[in-house]
Structure 1
Amino acid sequence: MRSPLSAPAARLLRTGLLPGALAVALVATALPAAAAAAPGGAPPRPAAADAEPPPAISAYDDAFLEQYEKIKDPANGYFREFDGMLVPYHAVETLIVEAPDHGHATTSEAFSYYLWLEATYGRITGEWQPFNDAWASMEAFIIPGTADQPTNASYNPDSPATYIPEHDSPEGYPSALDNSVTAGEDPLADELSSTYGTDEIYGMHWLLDVDNTYGYGFCGDGSDDAPAYINTFQRGSQESVWETVPHPSCETFDHGGPNGFLDLFTDDASYSQQWRYTNAPDADARAVQVAYLAHTWASEQGNAAAVAETVAKAAKMGDYLRYAMYDKYFKEIGDCVGANSCAPGTGKNSAHYLMSWYYAWGGALQNAQYPWAWRIGGSSSHQGYQNPLAAYALSEVDVLRPESATGAEDWAVSMDRQLEFLQWLQSAEGGIAGGATNSWGGDYGEPPAGSPTFYGMYYDWQPVWHDPPSNRWFGFQVWGIERVAQLYQTTGDERAGAILDKWVPWAMANTTVGADGAFAVPSDLEWSGQPDTWTGTPSGNTGLHVEVVSHGQDVGVAAGLAKTLLYYAAASGDAEARAMGEGLLDALLANRDAIGVATPEVRADYERFGDEVYIPQGWSGQMANGDPVEPGATFSSIRSFYQDDPDWPQVEAYLNGGEAPTFTYHRFWSQVDVATAFAVHDELFG
Structure 2
Amino acid sequence: MVAALGLAGVPTTAAQAAVACEVQYTKTWDSGSGFGADVTIRNVGDPLNGWTVSWTWSGNQRITQMWNASYDQQGATVTVTNAAYNGDVPTGGQVTFGFNGSYSGTNADPTSFTVNGVTCGGDQEEQALVVSPTEVTVPEGGTATFSVRLQTQPSSDVDVTVAAGAGDPDITVVSGESLTFTPSNWDTPQNVTLAAAQDGDIENGERTISVSAPGLPVVNVTAVEEDDDTTPTQSLVVTPKNVSVPEGDSAVFNVRLGIEPASDVTVTVTAGSGDPDITVASGESLTFTPSNWDEDQQVRLEAAQDDDDANGTRTFTVAADGVDPVEVTATEVDDDAEANDYITEFLTQYNKIKSEASGYFSPEGIPYHSVETLLVEAPDHGHETTSEAFSYWLWLEANYGRITGNWAPFNNAWNVMEQYIIPSAEGQPGGQSTYRPDDPADYAPEYDQPSEYPVALDNSVVAGQDPLADELQQTYGNRLMYSMHWLLDVDDVYGYGTGRTQPECGDNTQRVTYINTYQRGPQESVWETVPHPSCDTGRFGAPGGGGYPPLFIQDGQAGQWRYTAAPDADARAIQAAYWALTWASEQGNESQISQTLAKAAKMGDFLRYAFYDKYFKNPGCDSPSCTPGSGKSSSNYLLNWYFSWGGDLDNQWSWRIGSSHNHGGYQNPMAAWAMSPEGPAQLRPLSPTASSDWEKSLKRQIQFYKWLQSDEGAIAGGATNSWKGRYDTRPAGVPTFFGLVYDEAPVYHDPPSNQWFGFQAWGMQRMAELYYVTGDPDAKDVLDKWVAWALSETTLGSGSEYSFPSDMEWEGTPAASFSDESGMPGPNPDLHVSVVNYSNDVGVAAAYARTLIYYAAKENGSELGERAKATAKGLLDRMLLLKDDKGIAVEETRADYERFDDVWTSSEQKGLYIPEGYSGTMPNGDVIEHGSTFLSIRSFYQDDPDWPKVQAHLDGGPAPTFTYHRFWAQADFANALADYGTLFPNG
State if a TM-score over 0.5 links the two structures. yes
- Is residue 525–residue 550 contact of structure 1 (8 Å, CA) maintained in 2? yes
Distance 1:678 1:273 in 2: 48
Q: Over residues 471-501 of structure 1, what are the superposed CA-to-partner deviations in whole Å (9 max), with x where a residue is unaligned?
A: 1000010011000001101110001100010
Matched, 1:210 2:490: yes
Mark the CA change 1:524 to 1:326 in structure 2 (over 3 Å): closer, same or farther.
Answer: same
Which residue pairs with 1:33 in the alignment?
Answer: none
Cα separation, 2, equivalents of 1:575 and 1:617: 61
CA contact (8 A) 1:379 1:438 kept: yes
State how many pairs are aligned.
Answer: 629
Q: Partner residue of 1:552?
A: 839
1:284 equivalent to 2:284? Answer: no
Structure 1 residues 139 and 421: CA distance shift in structure 2, 3 A: same
SS of equivalent residue, structure 1 residue 87: coil
Whole-Å Cα distance in 1 between the matches of residues 800 and 605 of structure 2? 43
Distance 2:475 2:982 in 1: 37
For 1:670, what is the secondary structure of its paired residue?
Answer: helix
Secondary structure of the 1:214 match is: coil
Q: Which residue number in structure 2 is paired with residue 137 of structure 1? A: 416
User: For residues 198-255 of structure 1, what are the alpha-carbon distances to aligned partners after superposition, in whole Å with 9 as ceiling and x for unaligned?
Assistant: 2100000000000000000189758971210000000000000000000000110100
The 10-residue stretch of structure 1 (57-66 or 236-245) with the greater mean CA deviation from structure 2 = 57-66
- Contact map agreement 1:426 1:541 (CA 8 A) in 2: yes
Map 1:166-205; keep pairs closer than 5 Å.
166-205=446-485
- 2:617 pairs with one of 331, 343, 346: 331
Any conservation in 1 of the 2:548–2:558 contact (CA below 8 Å)? no
Pairwise CA distance, 1:58: 2.3
1:448 Cα deviation from its structure 2 partner: 1.3
The answer (yes or no) to whether the contact 2:499–2:510 under 8 Å persists in 1 is: no
Q: Deviations over 1:438-494 (max 9, x none)?
A: 000110001211111000100001000000000100001001100000110111000
Q: What does residue range 255-654 of structure 1 map to in structure 2 within 5 Å? A: 255-258=540-543, 259-268=546-555, 271-333=557-619, 335-340=620-625, 342-365=626-649, 368=650, 371-395=652-676, 396-535=679-818, 536-572=823-859, 573=861, 574-612=865-903, 613-654=912-953
SS in 1 for 2:851: helix
Counterpart of 2:539 in structure 1 is 254
Contact 1:220/1:252, CA 8 A, preserved across alignment: no
Give the secondary-structure state (helix, strand or coil) at the position aligned to 1:74: coil
CA distance in 2, matches of 1:74, 1:547: 43
* Whole-angstrom distance in 1 between the partners of 2:558 and 2:438: 22
Query: For the residues of structure 1 that align with 2:465 and 2:847, how far apart are their CA atoms?
Result: 39
Q: For residues 964 and 557 of structure 2, what CA distance do their matches in structure 1 show?
A: 41
Does the 8 Å contact 1:219/1:228 carry over to 2?
no
Deviations 1:57-92 (A, max 9, x none): 72101100000000000111000122xxx1000000
Deviation at 1:534, TM superposition (A): 3.7
| Secondary structure of the corresponding residue to residue 724 of structure 2 | coil
* Contact 1:485 1:568 survives alignment (8 Å): yes
SS of aligned partner of 1:657: coil
CA displacement, residues 628-681 of structure 1 (integer Å, 9 cap, x when unaligned)? 000110000000000000000000000000011111100000001110000001
CA contact (8 A) 2:492 2:498 kept: no
SS of alignment partner, residue 307 of structure 1: helix
Q: What is the rounded CA distance, in whole Å, between the counterparts of 2:648 and 2:491 in structure 1?
A: 26
SS in 2 for 1:154: coil
Q: Any conservation in 2 of the 1:220–1:248 contact (CA below 8 Å)?
A: no
Partner Cα distance (1:521, 1:91) in 2: 23
1:293 Cα shift? Answer: 0.4
Asked if structure 1 preserves the Cα contact closer than 8 Å seen for 2:548 and 2:557, the reply is no
CA gap 1:220/1:136 in 2 versus in 1, 3 angstroms: same
Go from structure 1 to structure 2 and tell me whether the alpha carbon gap of 1:148 and 1:224 turns closer, same or farther (over 3 Å shift): closer
Is the counterpart of residue 62 in structure 1 residue 347 in structure 2? Answer: no
Which amino acid is 1:656 matched to?
A: D
Higher relative contact order (CA 8 A, sep 6+): 1
Aligned-residue offset at 1:515? 2.0
**Residues 1:80 and 2:362 are matched in the alignment:** yes
Inter-CA distance 527–71: structure 2 relative to 1 (3 Å threshold): same
Amino acid at match of 2:463: A
Task: Give the deviation of 1:174 after TM superposition.
Answer: 0.4
> Does the 8 A contact of 1:243 with 1:611 survive in 2?
no
Q: Partners in 2 of 1:640 and 1:671 — Cα distance? A: 29
Q: What is the root-mean-square deviation in Å for CA atoms of aligned residues? A: 1.7
- Alpha-carbon distance between aligned partners in 1 of 2:444 and 2:982, rounded to the nearest angstrom: 49
Aligned residue type for 1:263: P
Note if contact 1:253-1:273 (Cα within 8 Å) is conserved in structure 2: yes
Cα deviation for residue 378 of structure 1 reads: 1.1
Which amino acid in structure 2 is aligned with residue 414 of structure 1?
A: S
Task: Summarize the Cα distance change of 1:635–1:220 in structure 2 as closer, same or farther, 3 Å threshold.
Answer: farther
**What's 1:127 paired with?**
406
The residue matched to 2:562 in structure 1 has which SS? strand
2:627 alignment partner, SS class: coil
Inter-CA distance 121–219: structure 2 relative to 1 (3 Å threshold): farther
Aligned with 2:974 (options 670, 675, 678): 675
Which amino acid in the other structure matches residue 879 of structure 2?
L
Show the 5 A alignment for 1:12-91.
Answer: 58-82=340-364, 86-91=365-370
From the superposition, tell whether residues 413 and 218 of structure 1 become closer, same or farther in structure 2 (CA, over 3 Å).
farther
Distance (whole Å) between structure 1 residues aligned to residue 500 and residue 471 of structure 2: 32
C-alpha distance in 2, partners of 1:397/1:304? 12
CA deviation digits over 1:307-329, x for unaligned, max 9?
11101100000000000000000
The structure with the greater share of residues assigned to helix is: 1
Amino acid at match of 2:653: W
Q: CA deviation at 1:272?
A: 5.0
Indicate the structure (1 or 2) with the bigger Cα radius of gyration: 2
Say whether residues 1:229 and 2:514 are aligned partners: yes
Structure 1: segments with no counterpart, 5+ residues: 1-26, 29-51
Give the match for residue 47 of structure 1: none
1:16 counterpart residue number: none
Distance in 1 separating the partners of 2:870 and 2:334:
24
Question: What's the offset of the Cα at 1:553?
Answer: 1.1
Q: Does structure 1 retain, via aligned residues, the 8 Å contact 2:397–2:413?
A: yes
Matches within 5 A, 1:152-171: 152-171=432-451
Question: Separation in 1 of the partners of 2:498 and 2:561?
Answer: 11
Question: Do 1:148 and 1:219's aligned partners in 2 also have CA atoms closer than 8 Å?
Answer: no
Amino acid at match of 1:670: A
- Name stretches of at least 5 consecutive residues in structure 2 with no aligned partner: 1-96, 99-301, 304-332, 503-507, 904-911
- Letter of the 1:192 partner, please give it: L
Equivalent position amino acid for 1:657 in 2: G
Does the Cα contact within 8 Å between 1:220 and 1:254 map onto a contact in 2? no
- C-alpha separation between the residues in 1 aligned to 2:828 and 2:484? 36
Equivalent residue runs for 1:651-670 within 5 Å: 651-670=950-969
Equivalent residues of 1:384, 1:476 under 8 A apart: yes
Task: Give TM-score, length-normalised by structure 1.
Answer: 0.90
Once residues 350 and 541 of structure 1 are traced to their aligned partners in structure 2, the CA distance between those partners, rounded to angstroms, is 27
Q: Is the 8 A contact 1:600 1:665 kept in 2?
A: yes
